[in-house]
Chain A
Amino acid sequence: MNDVAKHQSGRKIIKVALVGQPNVGKSALINSIGNARLKVGNFSGVTVKKEVVRFVRGDYEFKITDLPGSYSLTDYTIEERVTKKYLDEDEYDLILNVVDSTNIERNLYLTTELLALNKKIVIALNMTDEAVNEGVHINEQQLSKILGARCVKTSALKKTGIDELIDAIIETYNSKLPDLHLQFSEPFEEEIANIVDFLQAKKFQCKISLKALAIKLLREDRQAYQRFHEEPIWIELLPIINKAYQHLYLHYGTKDLEDIFNDEKNAVAKGAVAETVVFEKDNRLSLTDKIDALLMHQVVGLPIFLFMMWGLFQLTFDIGSIPMDWIDAFFVALIDGTKNFLGHTELASVIADGAIAGVGAVVLFLPNIIILFFGIALLETTGYMSRVAFLLDGFFHKFGLHGKSFIPLVTGFGCSVPAYMASRTLKNDRDRLLTLFIIGFMSCGARLPIYVLFVGAFFAEHHAGNILFLIYISGALLGILAAKILKMTVFKGKDEPFVMEMPKYRLPSFKLIWHTVSGQALMYLKKAGTFILMASVLVWFASNYPKQPELEQAYQIKIEQAADDAQAKALSNELALSKLENSYLGMIGHASEPFFAPLGYDWRMAVALETGLAAKEVVVATLGVLYGLGDDITEQHTGLIEKIRENISLPAGISFIVFVMIYLPCLAASMVFMREAGGWKYLGYLFIFTTVTAWLLSFAAFHITRMLV
């Protein structure tokens, strides 16, 4: 205990690397140990970048790094590279290897590789609850002995075994590194023993055990060889290793060392399972198989998926509109109330017409957002996600996309930022870039308010759900079409293999869904209360300044001389409108009007689209402020939907929807896109690509609708 890291408070810091195959419950386990809120989902590749969770237990402070799941320590995909790199290069005190008890043999394959690293290691046999139900009994004491590492049964779901796991980690941390227990097949062990004997005879000193070193040499580990090159004993060691290779080649009938080692790993896993696991009942048709027989059926599978999507959008409208009416009424009352209270002042206007109108326009759509995120959470947590990827792979493949792209694309319906991150699970850079470029076509949650607003304004209530469904589907289809075009022109190349695990179906716990959905809802509200609030006030200022005293005076005189009330009202409306048009925002809008005029937009819609580059929620906030201001102040306030209907024509509205569907995602998403794609130039391409597409299709939509109605 000489130089252990210590916290100021005198607590010892234990750095833990959390490693395991995908979807075994690593993140879920840390959530239950450390009260964290890491993202959990029932498919491979939920965690795509490392994340550190800290918590204190007694005298110890834990710093656990949640790593992306890896089937084995290879660099197949970016996220797996993250894990391998972390294990090779970072500092940590021990490895916590999480294992799915119900699929233990395959999981031990990775464990074998981890053991060969010869680091302190604790193994969590997770999903114990499921294992018990499925009749899988593991003798963890026996397994601990065989592997030479503490094994603890845990369940992240039922929160069992957590304290034991913590104790095991502390104990392992405080004890010294045990000898390598890994037992390979006899021929392999013989060669290892030869090398170890030689190194021992030479009194060779090494940080890891000699056996671990010998294994590295036999695996042709680059690092080990580089180190040895400078050692004098290299000359003598070389012939021994050479002979070992010859023996192994002969015995296994292949010269592929990786094949040989893979075989060994499998044999170790199989052996350990044979000695320590009892399978009580087996091979009965599980529930998952029964559900899959229907949901993955080659004929009805896809229609069922589409039907469920359609149902989700019906719900978004039908259920969502009930609280929406209340929220709308509330904000209208609040605006009127504020103005009555503060009187006809600048302050009243900035609060009511700026802040409240803008924020209210965004909060209005909270119910829709919640329903949408609920749907996505179900898709992510039940295990259906990978099934749909399977169902769509054939179709996707025709358009040059990889089946796995489905996961980032679906994530994109929630928010583009995690979607861009999720595309890291794609192995090939070309597939990944292609996916990155079309994620924007999947309308994110922040665009939903715009659709709901416009669809609500222009279509009958019983059609609204269908139209919404149509918008999302056509967005997705456009994206896939764009993929085809990009694949044929820019991202040419051969196809990558599609190999993907289908997890078993899991009934998500209420808590998990609640966590996911409430987290998203809170984030939406927080954004409304901060970013959107500021943007709304900014929009208000830009639309109220510069002041135009001459214009006001001129109108004031006209109004006083007006013949009757009606004329006076018309005049004051005219005044409000021309004040708006001569404001800063009006100037910006008019400047860009020529660009948008062919699409049927007035300058206010143009401005809304421009402010939408910051965040899509700002579009409705801007519309809320701009169309609110044109109103006569003494008149009873009407809802935002009404105002849209009064001020915008149907063709322009549809054209607007199309533009919103396609054009550049928000600032935050654009930044993440740039990082994931690897440079400014890609953001430039994306901007040009989306703007041109959006403009052309909106133009078409505007003129076609005008011809039809």
Chain B
Amino acid sequence: MTLDKLSKGESAIITAIHANRELKNRFNSFGLVKGARISVEERSLGKKTIRVRINKTRIALRSAEAEKIEVKA
């Protein structure tokens, strides 16, 4: 399953990140790494943009980016 499939309020563990080097580094530095728990806090209308939380960091990203993050419940 990928992150964009989670609905509001759900959380999951990251199992893999399939992004290019740059984006992956950015994710990593936000604490988005394999094994981290991530939860979806809000989705915008039309599900274009989602707000997630990882540890103490709140991050906004698009569904297109969320698709690159694989998670398991």
Q: Using a CB–CB distance below 8 Å, which chain A residues touch chain B? A: 21, 71-72, 74, 76, 102-103, 105-106, 109-110, 258-259, 262-263, 265-266, 288-289, 292, 296-299, 386, 389-391, 393-394, 397, 403, 495, 497-504
B25 contacts which of A258, A390, A502 (Cβ < 8 Å)?
Answer: A258
Q: Please tell me if the beta carbons of A394 and B59 are within 8 angstroms of each other in the complex.
A: no
Measured between beta carbons, the chain B residues less than 8 angstroms from A390 are 44, 49, 51, 60
Cα-based distance from A258 to B26 in the complex (angstroms):
12
A contact face: mostly helix, strand, loop, or mixed = helix
Most buried by A among B43, B48, B64: B48
Q: Please tell me if the beta carbons of A298 and B45 are within 8 angstroms of each other in the complex.
A: yes
Q: Please tell me if the beta carbons of B48 and A397 are within 8 angstroms of each other in the complex.
A: yes
Q: Please tell me if the beta carbons of B60 and A500 are within 8 angstroms of each other in the complex.
A: yes
Q: Please tell me if the beta carbons of A500 and B62 are within 8 angstroms of each other in the complex.
A: no
Q: Please tell me if the beta carbons of A106 and B30 are within 8 angstroms of each other in the complex.
A: yes
Closest to A394 in B: B48
Q: Please tell me if the beta carbons of A499 and B51 are within 8 angstroms of each other in the complex.
A: no
Closest to A498 in B: B62
Q: Please tell me if the beta carbons of A106 and B57 are within 8 angstroms of each other in the complex.
A: yes
Measured between beta carbons, the chain A residues less than 8 angstroms from B48 are 393-394, 397
Measured between beta carbons, the chain A residues less than 8 angstroms from B25 are 72, 74, 76, 258, 262
Tell me, rounded to whole Å, the shortest Cβ–Cβ distance linking B23 to chain A.
5
B1 on the A face (CB < 8 A) = no
Tell me, rounded to whole Å, the shortest Cβ–Cβ distance linking B52 to chain A.
10
- B10-68 residues at the A interface, CB under 8 angstroms: 19, 21-31, 33-34, 41-46, 48-49, 51, 55-62, 64-65
Q: Can you report 16 residue pairs joining A to B where beta carbons are below 8 Å apart?
A: A72-B25, A76-B25, A103-B55, A106-B29, A109-B29, A262-B25, A263-B34, A298-B44, A390-B44, A397-B48, A403-B62, A498-B62, A499-B27, A499-B30, A501-B59, A501-B60
Measured between beta carbons, the chain B residues less than 8 angstroms from A105 are 31, 55-56
Q: Please tell me if the beta carbons of B28 and A501 are within 8 angstroms of each other in the complex.
A: no
Q: Do A403 and B60 form a contact, CB below 8 Å, given A72-B28, A298-B42, A397-B48? A: yes
Measured between beta carbons, the chain B residues less than 8 angstroms from A103 are 55-57
Q: Do A109 and B49 form a contact, CB below 8 Å, given A258-B21, A390-B44, A393-B60? A: no
Q: Please tell me if the beta carbons of A71 and B61 are within 8 angstroms of each other in the complex.
A: no
Closest to A288 in B: B58
Q: Please tell me if the beta carbons of B65 and A296 are within 8 angstroms of each other in the complex.
A: no
Measured between beta carbons, the chain B residues less than 8 angstroms from A501 are 30, 57-60
Cα-based distance from A72 to B24 in the complex (angstroms):
12
Q: Do A498 and B65 form a contact, CB below 8 Å, given A292-B42, A386-B60, A390-B51? A: yes
Tell me, rounded to whole Å, the shortest Cβ–Cβ distance linking B27 to chain A.
7
In addition to A298-B42, A403-B62, 8 A-B residue pairs with Cβ atoms within 8 Å of each other are A102-B56, A109-B29, A258-B25, A299-B45, A390-B44, A499-B27, A499-B61, A502-B51
- Total count of chain B residues near the partner, CB < 8 A: 33
Q: Please tell me if the beta carbons of B49 and A266 are within 8 angstroms of each other in the complex.
A: no
Measured between beta carbons, the chain B residues less than 8 angstroms from A297 are 42
Measured between beta carbons, the chain A residues less than 8 angstroms from B51 are 292, 296, 390, 502
A106 contacts which of B26, B41, B55, B64 (Cβ < 8 Å)?
Answer: B55
Q: Please tell me if the beta carbons of A106 and B60 are within 8 angstroms of each other in the complex.
A: no
Tell me, rounded to whole Å, the shortest Cβ–Cβ distance linking A16 to chain B.
23
Measured between beta carbons, the chain B residues less than 8 angstroms from A502 are 51, 58-60
Measured between beta carbons, the chain A residues less than 8 angstroms from B46 are 394
Q: Please tell me if the beta carbons of B60 and A394 are within 8 angstroms of each other in the complex.
A: no
Tell me, rounded to whole Å, the shortest Cβ–Cβ distance linking B70 to chain A.
15
State the total of A-B contacts with C-beta under 8 angstroms: 114
A76 contacts which of B26, B33, B44, B45 (Cβ < 8 Å)?
Answer: B26
Tell me, rounded to whole Å, the shortest Cβ–Cβ distance linking B10 to chain A.
16
Cα-based distance from A503 to B53 in the complex (angstroms):
11
Measured between beta carbons, the chain B residues less than 8 angstroms from A500 are 59-61
Q: Please tell me if the beta carbons of B59 and A498 are within 8 angstroms of each other in the complex.
A: no
Tell me, rounded to whole Å, the shortest Cβ–Cβ distance linking A645 to chain B.
44
Closest to A389 in B: B60
Tell me, rounded to whole Å, the shortest Cβ–Cβ distance linking A127 to chain B.
11
Q: Please tell me if the beta carbons of A497 and B62 are within 8 angstroms of each other in the complex.
A: yes
Closest to B36 in A: A266
Cα-based distance from A498 to B25 in the complex (angstroms):
14
Measured between beta carbons, the chain B residues less than 8 angstroms from A503 are 58
Q: Please tell me if the beta carbons of A296 and B42 are within 8 angstroms of each other in the complex.
A: yes
Tell me, rounded to whole Å, the shortest Cβ–Cβ distance linking A625 to chain B.
49
Cα-based distance from A74 to B24 in the complex (angstroms):
11
Q: Please tell me if the beta carbons of B30 and A71 are within 8 angstroms of each other in the complex.
A: yes
Cα-based distance from A71 to B55 in the complex (angstroms):
16
Tell me, rounded to whole Å, the shortest Cβ–Cβ distance linking B55 to chain A.
6
Measured between beta carbons, the chain B residues less than 8 angstroms from A266 are 28, 31, 33
Measured between beta carbons, the chain A residues less than 8 angstroms from B19 are 497
Q: Do A499 and B28 form a contact, CB below 8 Å, given A106-B57, A390-B60? A: no
Q: Please tell me if the beta carbons of B28 and A393 are within 8 angstroms of each other in the complex.
A: no
Measured between beta carbons, the chain B residues less than 8 angstroms from A109 are 28-29, 31
Q: Please tell me if the beta carbons of A74 and B56 are within 8 angstroms of each other in the complex.
A: no
Cα-based distance from A74 to B21 in the complex (angstroms):
11
Tell me, rounded to whole Å, the shortest Cβ–Cβ distance linking B61 to chain A.
5
Closest to A259 in B: B24
Cα-based distance from A403 to B64 in the complex (angstroms):
14
Tell me, rounded to whole Å, the shortest Cβ–Cβ distance linking B42 to chain A.
5
Most buried by B among A110, A394, A403: A394
Most buried by A among B21, B44, B61: B44
Measured between beta carbons, the chain A residues less than 8 angstroms from B33 are 262-263, 266
Cα-based distance from A103 to B29 in the complex (angstroms):
12
Q: Please tell me if the beta carbons of A72 and B49 are within 8 angstroms of each other in the complex.
A: no
Closest to A299 in B: B45
Cα-based distance from A391 to B57 in the complex (angstroms):
18
Cα-based distance from A327 to B25 in the complex (angstroms):
56
Closest 4 CB pairs of A and B: A394-B48, A71-B29, A72-B29, A502-B58
B49 contacts which of A262, A263, A393 (Cβ < 8 Å)?
Answer: A393
Measured between beta carbons, the chain A residues less than 8 angstroms from B43 are 298
Q: Please tell me if the beta carbons of A499 and B59 are within 8 angstroms of each other in the complex.
A: yes
Q: Do A393 and B62 form a contact, CB below 8 Å, given A109-B29, A298-B45, A499-B30? A: yes
Cα-based distance from A262 to B29 in the complex (angstroms):
8
Cα-based distance from A499 to B25 in the complex (angstroms):
12
Closest to B59 in A: A501
Measured between beta carbons, the chain B residues less than 8 angstroms from A299 are 45
Closest to B32 in A: A499
Measured between beta carbons, the chain A residues less than 8 angstroms from B55 are 103, 105-106
Cα-based distance from A461 to B19 in the complex (angstroms):
55
Tell me, rounded to whole Å, the shortest Cβ–Cβ distance linking A516 to chain B.
24
B64 contacts which of A72, A74, A495 (Cβ < 8 Å)?
Answer: A495
Closest to A501 in B: B59
